[in-house]
Amino acid sequence: MVYEVIVNGQPHRLELEKASSGWECRLDGRSIPIDAVMTRRDVISLLIGGHSYEIKCEQTAGDLHVWVGNTRFAVELRDPRSLRSRNRGAVDEKGPRKILAPMPGRIVRLLVTENSEVGAGQGILVVEAMKMQNEIKSPRKGVVKKLSATTGASVNPGDILAIVE
């Protein structure tokens, strides 16, 4: 099998072939002797040149990571046949900024109203989760164009709470 593997943004070409014993592996054209077994779901034992690694796989909200020891790597596997557009859209520091819920929780207080002026770092609202109240702050100086959050409402990570422009 041939994969394009993107590790922390860096693309690699990976070829894996089942051999009589273990696997034949070529990474970016370099042949590496490996052996791998799945010890349980999301965990593999990987042997590379006599070194042993316990590798864990984690998927959260669309992101995929593999863990080598205590180090986490963002990975993406692509079919090398597919065409892809990689422009992710740079963040515009000057444009409107969405304030997203960083975690599931409940909105306990609004600290500003729509159309009020806020400074960078000023509190917009307070979200409570796991008994902790967390102030969500404005990422920039500007005007609160939209305040979609309401007191008492439950929110999920990624929900738009407000837009500061």
Partner 1 sequence: MFKKILIANRGEIAVRIISACREMGISTVAVYSDVDRAALHVSKADQAYAIGPAPAAESYLRIDKILDVAKRSGAEAIHPGYGFLSENAKFAQACADAGVKFIGPAPHSMEMMGSKTRARQEMEKAGVPFVPGTSRGLASAEEAEKVAERIGYPVMLKAAAGGGGKGMRLVHARGELRSGLESARSEAQSSFGDSEVYIEKAIVNPRHIEMQVLADEHGNIVWLGERECSIQRRHQKVLEESPSPIVDPDMRRRMGEVAVKVARTAGYTNAGTVEFLVDSPKNDNQKNFYFLEMNTRLQVEHPVTELTTGLDLVHLQIRIAAGERLPFGQSDVSIRGHAIECRIYAEDPDNNYFPSPGKITLLLSPSGPGIRLDRGMYEGWTVPMDYDPLLAKLIGYGADRQQAIMRLERALYEYFVAGIKTNISLFQHILRDGDFRAGRLDTGYLERLVAKGAPDVPSLTAEHEGEAPETIAAIAAGMFAVLDPASPVGKDGGGVNPSSVPSNWKQQGRLEGMR
Closest CA to 124 of 106, 91, 147, 154: 147
Do 136 and 123 meet the contact criterion of CB atoms below 8 Å apart?
Answer: yes
What count of Cα atoms within 13 Å lies in the side-chain half-sphere of residue 140?
A: 16
Which of helix, strand or coil describes residue 84? coil
The mark string for 7-46 relative to partner 1 (x by CB under 8 A, - otherwise) is: xx-x-x-xxx-x----x-x-x----x-x-xxx--xxxx-x
Contacts to partner 1 from residues 96-125, by CB under 8 A:
102-106, 108-109
Could you give the dihedral angle defined by the CA atoms of residues 74, 77, 82 and 84, in that order, rounded to the nearest 10 degrees?
Answer: 0
Nearer to partner 1, 43 or 120 (CB): 43
Nearer to partner 1, 145 or 151 (CB): 151
Out of 24, 122, 129, 140, point to the residue binding partner 1 (CB under 8 A).
Answer: 129
Closest CA to 29 of 51, 53, 46, 12: 12
Q: Fill in the amino acid letter for 16.
A: L
The mark string for 48-67 relative to partner 1 (x by CB under 8 A, - otherwise) is: xx-x-x-xxxxxx---x-xx
What is the binding site for partner 1 (CB under 8 A)? 1-5, 7-8, 10, 12, 14-16, 18, 23, 25, 27, 32, 34, 36-38, 41-44, 46, 48-49, 51, 53, 55-60, 64, 66-71, 73, 75-83, 102-106, 108-109, 128-134
